[in-house]
């Protein structure tokens, strides 16, 4: 199996590549990654001798076509992913998420290669806080932010390429991931590293917003399952029944780190902040027999805190610049 992983130097992609090399040392894994601010060679250092890393842009049609021609399957993670950055400057999101996915689709169409497209639950918009409904494959798309709008556009392109050109593609829409190698701009690593650097954690608005947390290894395990056994043309929702509001996550994290649970700052809310995401993963459970392994969120959070404690050399160089950007935005 020759596997091409776009965005494999980012958070989820790097964890995916680690597990690919562990589970299938016989596979030839190529990573295509532009190494933007969100990608790093260091995230692939533990497997650098077992993979090929190509630094390049997913919108580079010639390069993508050449790499796809040499592959049996593509897993497409590459994207601009941070909602706050999309609000500040949406243009790179249009380019990478929409044109990048178009570029990948044209290459897999030309060379007849299997594609798995990695997407997000944010394409469905927000759920109410006081209604138990969850997202399913048939929930209408209703994205709120420039980020989720570009991911929704990319998903629509994939569906159209399946229907119009018979491209063999699956799509997954996953909930919020946590775990090692996540950029310190994101909620959980930002708060852990704020505590580790003597800063106060920052909570947007009331903290009532709910996210449906899943360990990154469970997300990637589900992606494998879909790649191997999923039905081309299908969309699968990935989640692990991990709903928690932001205030609860933050207070849990502070307690685990030996701090007063109220030792944080409330900062201005994100514009258009989605209230709640929640995935109904039952068709993935029922049809593909998948189930998450990291079902104890507190245990996963504790291990993630330990990882950041032990890997300051990975995140330390990024931290001041990220906090300076947040400070400019008053957050
Ligand atoms: P990330 O921001 O950590 O990593 C993105 C990677 O893509 C980086 O390595 C970056 O260098 C690369 N990249 C960006 N622009 C590129 C370009 N033009 N060409 C080539 N490479 C480029 O993101 P992540 O959190 O690992 O997310 C990976 C994928 O999973 C994304 O498609 C995202 O939408 C999706 N997703 C993320 C989550 C989550 O909670 N993080 C949940 C569901 C789905
Ligand atoms: O749902 C899947 C999505 O999860 C992915 O598609 C995105 O790529 C990923 O970034 C993530 O999006 P969120 O916007 O939910 O994640 P973020 O880590 O930015 O924020 C999580 C919640 O925490 C959200 O309600 C905003 C809040 N927050 C965030 C930051 C950075 C804070 O309260 N304080 C903060 O400092």
pLDDT at residue number 328: 95
- On the 0-12 / 13-18 / 19+ scale of CB atoms within 10 A, 264 is buried
pLDDT at residue number 297: 98
Q: Please report the atom of ligand 1 found closest to the CA of residue 176.
A: 40
Contact present, 94 and 149 (Cβ < 8 Å): no
pLDDT at residue number 185: 98
If one residue of 36, 181, 300 were mutated to test the ligand 1 pocket, choosing by the most ligand atoms within 8 A of its CB, it would be: 36
Give, in words, the CATH class of 2-178+215-238: alpha beta
Q: What is the mean pLDDT of residues 205-221?
A: 98
Contacts of 232 (CB under 8 A, 6+ apart): 114, 162, 167, 168, 169, 170
pLDDT at residue number 258: 98
Q: pTM higher than 0.95, yes or no?
A: yes
What whole-number percentage of the chain has pLDDT above 70? 100
> Separation of 223 CA from ligand 2 center, angstroms?
21
pLDDT at residue number 51: 98
pLDDT in tens, 245-254: 999 999 999 9
The average confidence (pLDDT) of the chain is: 98
pLDDT at residue number 242: 98
pLDDT at residue number 86: 98
pLDDT in tens, 287-324: 999 999 999 999 999 999 999 999 999 999 999 999 99
The Cα 187–Cα 264 span in angstroms is 13
pLDDT at residue number 169: 98
> Separation of 225 CA from ligand 1 center, angstroms?
20
Give the number of residues written for the chain: 331
pLDDT in tens, 49-87: 999 999 999 999 999 999 999 999 999 999 999 999 999
């Amino acid at each position: 199996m020759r596997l091409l992983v776009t965005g494999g130097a980012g958070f989820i992609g790097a964890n995916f590549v680690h597990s690919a090399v562990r589970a299938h040392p016989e596979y030839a894994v190529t990573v295509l990654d532009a190494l933007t601010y969100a990608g790093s060679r260091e995230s692939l250092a533990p497997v650098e001798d077992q993979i090929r890393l190509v630094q390049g842009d997913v919108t580079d049609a010639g390069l993508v076509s050449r790499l796809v021609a040499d592959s049996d399957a593509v897993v497409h993670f590459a994207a601009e992913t941070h909602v706050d950055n999309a609000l500040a400057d949406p243009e790179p999101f249009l380019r990478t998420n929409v044109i990048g996915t178009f570029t990948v689709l044209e290459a897999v169409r030309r060379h007849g290669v299997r594609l798995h497209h990695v997407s997000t639950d944010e394409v469905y918009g927000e759920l109410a806080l006081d209604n138990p409904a969850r997202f399913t494959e048939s929930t209408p798309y209703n994205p709120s932010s420039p980020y989720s709008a570009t991911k929704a556009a990319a998903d629509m392109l994939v569906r159209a390429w399946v229907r119009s050109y018979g491209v063999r593609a699956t799509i997954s829409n996953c909930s919020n991931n946590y775990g090692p190698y996540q950029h310190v701009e994101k909620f959980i690593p930002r708060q852990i590293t704020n505590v580790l650097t003597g800063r106060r954690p920052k909570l947007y608005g009331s903290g009532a917003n709910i996210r449906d947390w899943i360990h990154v290894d469970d997300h990637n395990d589900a992606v494998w399952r879909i790649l191997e056994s999923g039905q081309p043309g299908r969309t699968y929702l990935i989640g692990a029944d991990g709903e928690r509001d932001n205030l609860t996550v933050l207070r849990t994290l502070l307690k685990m780190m030996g701090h007063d649970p109220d030792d944080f700052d409330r900062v201005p809310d994100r514009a258009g902040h989605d209230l709640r995401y929640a995935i109904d993963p039952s068709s993935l459970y029922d049809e593909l027999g998948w189930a998450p392994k990291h079902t104890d969120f507190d245990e996963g959070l504790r291990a993630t805190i330990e990882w950041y404690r032990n890997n300051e050399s990975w995140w330390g160089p990024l931290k001041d610049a990220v906090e300076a950007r947040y400070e400019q935005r008053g957050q």
